[in-house]
Amino acid sequence: MWWRKRRTDEDYSREIDAHLALEADRLAADGQSPDAARDAARRRFGNTVAAQERFHEANHWMWLEQLAQDLRYAVRGLWRSPAFTATTVLTLAVGLGLVTVVFAIFNAYVLRPFAVRDPYQLHVIAWSAPDAYGGSFRWSEYQELRGRQDLFSDVIAESTRYVLSNNGPVAAAFVSGNYFEALGARVLLGRPLASFDASAPGGSPVAVLSDEGWARFFDRDPAVLGKSLELNGERFVIVGVMRPEFSGLDDTPRDLWIPVTMYGAVAKQDLFGPTQPREMVIVARLAAGVTAEHVQSALTPVMRRIAERADVRAEARLQATPNPLSLWLITTLSPVFAAFLLVLVAACANVSNVMLARANARHREIAMRLSLGASRGRLVRQLLTEGLLIAALSGLAALALATATLRFGTALFFATLPPSISGLVRVVPFDLDRRVFLFALLVASGATLLFALAPALRATRLSLTHALRGQPSATTRAATLRNGLVASQVAVSLVLLVSAVTLARNGVAVGATNLGFQTAGVVSVNQRGQAGSFIQQAAEALAADARVAAVAVTSRNPLFGEFPKLPVKATHASDVVATSLMFVSPEYFPMLHIPIVRGRAFRPDEARAETRVGIISAAGARALWPGADPLGKVVRIPIEAAAPRNGEVRRIDRLATDASSESADVLIVGVAKDVVSGLVFEGQDTSHLYLPTSPTGSRAAAILVTGHAPQDVGPHALQTILRKANPDPFIFEIVPLDEMRQAQMYPLRTASWIGSLLGAIALVLSVSGLYGVLTYTLSQRTREIGIRMALGATAATVVRMVMTQSARLAGVGAAIGLMVALAVMKVLSTLIPFQNVSVLDAGAFAASLALVALATALAAYAPARRATRVDPSETLRAEG
């Protein structure tokens, strides 16, 4: 065309040279020798005008031919080197698979939206105050909000609780009749619940199963429709099964959904009577053009009336995924992602080292291709194509590994949970959807650049003269790159090992913490939900049973999470001490074997009247009255602030600083031994205040039970007794205190297991990388070692030389790793305030360094011993 620049003979000549090199490469790849391949290419394509025109016409397809040839060449090369292929693919697959596992969990709980219509229009309605928040409403309040058509296009209500079936506990969601119609969730079998199912209280005992519920209770029987399932003694007919992708609107999957009008028949509580309990969670779909800010502004007056306080504002929180993505969540999870990414980096460094050694071993081939006219960029693309093929194979293997790991990990998770908790835990499905596949593709592509680009660039930068003679390049850049990769692997393994050993040591320390009270044989009974209090009836039923030895009531049982901290101060003092508060009956101290070290315990009359007398912990006494006798002293506490009302949940982080105008004076009558009241990580040295209550008291909210024998207070026995207080068997949560302690330890124990696994993998990668580098280096130094031994060097001298080299490599990596680990641990030590957890642990650093040193010595010893078997005469004769 006229706008194209006229091509000169010189341009065509350059094209001919390029195509000659391409054809020679193709013929060489088919098995011909380099010289024969070049001659054949010249015979086929002469320097004629016709050839020039043919090359010009084929110019548009040149890149496709090159790509196809690169792929064929890479496949042949990998097929001919099965050991290299298996090593690189499996090594990279481990790193990619572990990162994919973490992303799959993150995707399931954070990124994947609910399988409903327009999930990003769904918002949870709640209210918040400076010191509390509330998200549970009465049925009448739900109806009021449903009438706000100026704000919402749909409003649904749900109350989730556990009910008892013949097959065990069932996570049942009682939902409004418009639930499935408003959400648009898809059904696999049968039909969803409809408005007519919830038209009248107790009128329609039907249920829709989730996919997990279908599997758990009916083994995925396709003829499940029409069958019945007993829930708390009531029979429900199965009318539908939901598709696997929908299991509810939060991070706790449901087993089934039933009409809210069946709540009274199952839970034995009236949601629709004159005294309605606050049991409903409300989710609304915003109307067209309405924003969350508009909803919050419009509903704030309504929420102030509902909460009966003036400092309340309405909240409309996005409910598109189980856990909304936020900066706080990313910051919290960043150490986890960083740990798994470090393993991937170590795997990439290992593969890069192997590929660099392979490329150096092919230096004569690469030099021959360069001498035939192939450009350096052409060879780099060829080597990158080989790396991309390795990454593709590794990605597929990583997806298979991630699937197996998720299944095994889920089974192990349930197998290692305490028995009383494992039956109640539900996890979302960890499906490998398109986001996970796209993530694996992107990470594999990025990994290709990490492990393949540097070896490709280095391998094509060589001296043709040396390479064609069979000698590698004399420059030290390759050695520097190899050494740098090994040092980075050592640094990564040291950082992960320090983290793992720190977690393990802290796990042992926390596990050995003396709680200060007895947990063996003591069972906690907590009431679920907010529909009235049945603690008095439950305590009376337990006390009347001959199998029960003792019953104590509390406002909150120990080991069940962090206790709220209240601002407490001694009278005539200005200093405020953050103190946890707890109401207990007189039986509490003898049941748990907590001694009163000074003064006396509560009397029965004080407990019945909830008299304002208190027992302070020894740590609290020291903080409030250092060096003085606390007996007879008076403390002022915001006692009303400790009692939630109207279904609100108190913000623990606010109570330590916000003083309440509603305060009370409490007379100290005793000092109790320090104990761990809330979290085991906090230790015993915390200020704790006990106030009296009884089963008839307004503060009684939980029960502790001991039996004459362990089986007397087992879950089944206690459920039988507690049905006398309430026929709903799951209104009470029954957990032995021993198992609650195990549950507190479980996150730390799990983190220790995962950290140890990652550290071990990284250490193995660094050891194999060091082994490979030493093996390759010594193979290149055979002549040098032969000369040394001919001149009188002993085997011990050669071993010492190799060990020194390996120690130098590992030392550089260890120094970098120690600095990084120290910085990371210092940051974590500022974020973790618990007394019994020491993040900056010198013992962990020393143990990790010792492990790395031992692994380095083991990795270096075998190549060193092999080097001493060199025969100097044979080596010098071969080199000559």
Pairing of strands 565-570, 613-617: unpaired
Model confidence at 615, pLDDT cuts 50, 70, 90, reads very high
Smallest CA-to-CA distance from 818 within 348, 499, 508 is with 499
Check: CB of residue 456 under 8 Å from CB of residue 380.
Answer: yes
- 3 state SS of 325: coil
Sign of CA dihedral 675, 678, 679, 682: negative
Smallest CA-to-CA distance from 89 within 74, 72, 69, 68 is with 74
Sign of CA dihedral 242, 245, 249, 251: positive
Q: What is the pLDDT of residue 650?
A: 54
Q: Which of 116-125, 750-759, 857-866 has the lowest mean pLDDT?
A: 857-866
The tens digit of pLDDT for each residue in 5-36 reads 344 445 545 555 665 666 666 666 666 666 66
Structure tokens at 49: 């005008």
Contacts of 861 (CB under 8 A, 6+ apart): 799, 803
Check: CB of residue 159 under 8 Å from CB of residue 166.
Answer: no
In the predicted model, is pLDDT for residue 635 greater than 70?
A: yes
Q: Where are the beta strands (DSSP E) in 630-754?
A: 634-637, 649-650, 664-672, 688-692, 702-707, 732-736
The tens digit of pLDDT for each residue in 262-298 reads 998 888 888 888 888 888 999 999 999 899 999 999 9
Identity of the amino acid at 272: F
Q: What is the pLDDT of residue 589?
A: 93
Contacts of 211 (CB under 8 A, 6+ apart): 188, 241, 242, 243, 244, 247, 429
DSSP structure class, residue 60: G
CA distance 101 to 99: 5
Contacts of 114 (CB under 8 A, 6+ apart): 122, 183, 246, 249, 319, 320, 321, 322
Range ranked top by mean pLDDT from 148-152, 424-428, 851-855, 860-864: 148-152
CA distance 65 to 69: 6
Contacts of 59 (CB under 8 A, 6+ apart): 15
Structure tokens at 748: 């730390």
The tens digit of pLDDT for each residue in 95-106 reads 888 899 999 999
Any idea how long the chain is? 880
Biggest CA–CA distance in the chain, Å, is: 116
Contacts of 614 (CB under 8 A, 6+ apart): 635, 666, 667, 668, 669, 689, 690, 691
- 3 state SS of 669: strand
Check: CB of residue 550 under 8 Å from CB of residue 586.
Answer: no
How large a percentage of the chain has pLDDT more than 70? Answer: 78
CA distance 157 to 285: 12
Q: Which of 263-277, 623-637, 690-704, 860-874 has the lowest mean pLDDT?
A: 860-874
| CA dihedral of 11, 17, 23, 28, whole degrees rounded to 10 | -160
CA distance 396 to 344: 15
Q: Where are the beta strands (DSSP E) in 191-227?
A: 206-209
734 Cα distance to chain centroid: 28
How large a percentage of the chain has pLDDT more than 90? Answer: 25
In the predicted model, is pLDDT for residue 226 greater than 70?
A: yes
Pairing of strands 634-637, 664-672: antiparallel
Model confidence at 641, pLDDT cuts 50, 70, 90, reads very low
Check: CB of residue 769 under 8 Å from CB of residue 349.
Answer: yes
278 Cα distance to chain centroid: 33
Rg (CA), the chain: 36
User: Which single residue is written with the structure tokens 């619940």?
Assistant: 193
CA distance 189 to 224: 9
CA distance 375 to 387: 19
Q: H helices within 462-603, ranges in order?
A: 464-468, 477-511, 535-544, 588-592
In the predicted model, is pLDDT for residue 63 greater than 80?
A: no
The tens digit of pLDDT for each residue in 126-160 reads 998 877 778 889 999 999 999 999 999 999 999 99
Identity of the amino acid at 74: A
In the predicted model, is pLDDT for residue 875 greater than 90?
A: no
In the predicted model, is pLDDT for residue 643 greater than 70?
A: no
Q: What is the pLDDT of residue 224?
A: 94
Average pLDDT over residues 245-269: 90
Structure tokens at 256: 């089934």
Pairing of strands 565-570, 664-672: unpaired
- Cα separation values, 322 from 108, 128, 318, 487, Å: 8, 20, 10, 41
- 3 state SS of 732: strand
DSSP structure class, residue 640: G
In the predicted model, is pLDDT for residue 663 greater than 90?
A: no
